[in-house]
């Protein structure tokens, strides 16, 4: 490619007499004369001191910018926002979490589009900024690499943030003291990095690697490590290679690549949030993807990873045995991945995996195909008169495959949590938390506080929970989220009353309430949507634009041509 072709976007901003003002501004931020002749690489950093997930990413961004410069480009670092799920969980602030995914995508698009970057590196380290980054890269469709900020190291006694949430339930149940709770609180989070189990951050990092948008083992590195620094250096080299080869995100983010991502998420027992985010990412990449695709792929892909929250091991322990690359090699050899997919290395997935060694003998984290944790997917997409448009359950089989109980209905997460802590929820109950969906919350809050309280109370096998909200990747137990249509949209979950019998069946993929159609029609006739808790600002904008959870809770408006 010619120099002008390499600078397809930046030359519009910096070439010619008329662009002297642009060059003058850029000289002030450190551009040399030679830099104007180099491809510009935008480094989208999600650094902030808001959360440990992102507190180290500023340094990673500088490393990536330096590496892009050494490879012949000019790295330009800019920031976007991040919201901490762990801090806002269980509070009204959690409404902003999923909304932040859209803000992040919009902000990266805005900066990159305005500045004329020829390529991009996006570095994310928390649940929503990771899919938000990839959504923006798909929109912009310029040569790009995603870098995961890395997982946190384990706290004392292998603790992590979920240990703290569950300790709250244990304290309420009287099984630990105030002093013991404080000890967990003080030792669970030792420093930078994303939450340590196969929660949403590590799930999405793995999915993005399987998708082909990050380099090998980017998902399986600790935040504070030489490997993560090297990942940033390799990303700088890789993006310049992609610019020279003119390989763009939409060349990588194909239908087959999304199927690879789904398959790896299932094998790793990943978070239900992956369903929401992969649907949204596919929408940005113009790839048809639906809830039913998770069911089809899940029928042939087993759960192989014994990882937290439902299993035993942390991401750091998976890193020690080789990360997800050996798992992907096994899956490729078994015919469960599409090997011909292009990746950010400029090579296909099969080429990247050709020389990957298997896991060491005797490891217990990744099971063999002859000894799976579950023979098919733990992500069960359920339909029925509670969820005509679908719901997503995370059921590993340890909780059982079927649950029937009496509804205990709550209009908010806070009400449900208090009832659990006060001992008002008992064995055999199905907790129904509604008006927490994309429109209703608004923002589709995660229900980690009540699910953790249930586990801490020792009710994990005896109580189910359904919601039109969603779950943290740290949630486990018999839980069903993303119920669609949501209550605020008049979905059937709005019509359930205390005492109604609810049946959840992960084998038949059904979720039903044992109420006659005529009675549901009577209830619908008198139902009124409660007033929204927000009147203005970004939450109101989101509420008015967001789609159903079954479509990824995206805010992409219809085209004028549609």
Helix axes 226-245, 57-70, angle to 10 degrees: 40
Q: Which of 445, 463, 517 has the alpha carbon at shortest distance from 99?
A: 445
Q: Tokens 């005529």 map to which residue?
A: 518
| DSSP annotation of 392 | E
Helix axes 537-545, 95-115, angle to 10 degrees: 90
Phi, psi of 180, deg, nearest 5: -70, -40
Handedness of CA 510, 513, 514, 520 (dihedral sign): negative
With beta carbons less than 8 A apart as the criterion, state whether 169 and 453 touch: yes
The angle subtended at Cα 296 by Cα 382 and Cα 559, nearest 5°, is 80
With beta carbons less than 8 A apart as the criterion, state whether 40 and 32 touch: no
Q: Is 472 a catalytic residue?
A: yes
With beta carbons less than 8 A apart as the criterion, state whether 409 and 497 touch: yes
Name the catalytic one among 472, 475, 484, 547.
Answer: 472
With beta carbons less than 8 A apart as the criterion, state whether 182 and 110 touch: no
Tell me how far apart the alpha carbons of residues 375 and 370 are, in angstroms, rounded to a whole number: 9
Tell me how far apart the alpha carbons of residues 134 and 462 are, in angstroms, rounded to a whole number: 39
With beta carbons less than 8 A apart as the criterion, state whether 373 and 396 touch: yes
Phi, psi of 391, deg, nearest 5: -145, 160
Provide the annotated active-site residues: 472
């Amino acid at each position: 490619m010619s120099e002008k072709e390499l600078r397809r976007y930046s030359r519009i901003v910096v070439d010619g007499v008329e662009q002297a003002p642009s060059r003058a501004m850029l000289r002030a931020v450190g551009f040399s004369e030679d830099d104007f002749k180099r491809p510009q690489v935008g480094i989208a950093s999600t650094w902030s001191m808001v959360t440990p997930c992102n507190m180290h990413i500023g340094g990673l961004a500088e490393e990536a910018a330096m590496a892009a410069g050494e490879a012949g480009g000019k790295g330009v670092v800019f920031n976007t926002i991040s919201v901490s799920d762990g801090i806002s969980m269980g509070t009204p602030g959690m409404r902003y979490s999923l909304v932040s995914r859209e803000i992040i995508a919009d902000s990266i698009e805005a900066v990159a589009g305005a500045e004329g970057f020829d390529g991009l590196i996006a570095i994310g380290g928390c649940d929503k900024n990771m899919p938000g980054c990839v959504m923006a890269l798909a929109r912009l469709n310029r040569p790009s690499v995603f870098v995961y900020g890395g997982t946190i190291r384990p706290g004392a006694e292998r603790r992590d943030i979920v240990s703290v949430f569950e300790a709250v339930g244990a304290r309420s149940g009287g099984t630990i003291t105030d002093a013991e709770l404080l000890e967990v609180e003080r030792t669970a989070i030792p420093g930078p990095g994303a939450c340590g189990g196969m929660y949403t951050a590590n799930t999405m990092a793995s999915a993005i690697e399987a998708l082909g948008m990050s380099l090998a083992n980017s998902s399986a590195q600790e935040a504070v490590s030489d490997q993560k620094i090297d990942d940033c250096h390799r990303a700088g080299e890789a993006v310049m290679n992609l610019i020279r080869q003119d390989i763009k995100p939409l060349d990588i983010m194909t239908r087959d690549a999304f199927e690879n991502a789904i398959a790896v998420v299932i094998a790793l027992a990943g978070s239900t949030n992956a369903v929401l985010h992969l649907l949204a990412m596919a929408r940005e990449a113009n790839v048809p993807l639906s809830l039913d695709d998770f069911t089809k792929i899940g029928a042939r892909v087993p759960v192989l990873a014994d990882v937290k929250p439902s299993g035993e091991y942390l991401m750091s322990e998976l890193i020690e045995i080789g990360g997800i690359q050996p798992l992907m090699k096994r899956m490729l050899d078994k015919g469960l991945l599409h090997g011909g997919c292009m990746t950010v290395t400029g090579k296909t997935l099969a080429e990247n995996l050709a020389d990957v060694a298997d896991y060491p003998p005797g490891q217990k984290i990744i099971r063999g195909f002859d000894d799976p944790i579950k023979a098919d997917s733990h992500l069960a997409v359920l339909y029925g008169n509670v969820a005509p448009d679908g719901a997503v359950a995370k059921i590993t089989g340890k909780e059982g495959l079927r649950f029937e109980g009496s509804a205990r209905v709550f209009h908010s997460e806070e009400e449900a949590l208090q009832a659990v802590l006060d001992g008002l929820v008992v064995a055999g109950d199905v907790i129904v938390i509604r008006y927490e969906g994309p429109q209703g919350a608004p923002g589709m809050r995660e229900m980690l506080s009540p699910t953790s309280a249930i586990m801490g109370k020792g009710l994990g096998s005896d109580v189910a929970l359904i919601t039109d909200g969603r779950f943290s990747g740290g949630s486990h137990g018999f839980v069903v989220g993303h119920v669609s249509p949501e209550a605020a949209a008049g979905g059937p979950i709005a019509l359930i009353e205390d005492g109604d019998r609810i049946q959840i069946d992960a084998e038949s993929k059904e979720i039903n309430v044992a109420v006659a159609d005529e009675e549901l029609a009577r209830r619908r006739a008198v139902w009124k949507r409660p007033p929204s808790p927000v009147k203005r600002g970004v939450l109101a904008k989101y509420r008015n634009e967001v789609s159903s959870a079954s479509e990824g809770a995206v805010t992409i408006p219809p085209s004028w041509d549609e």
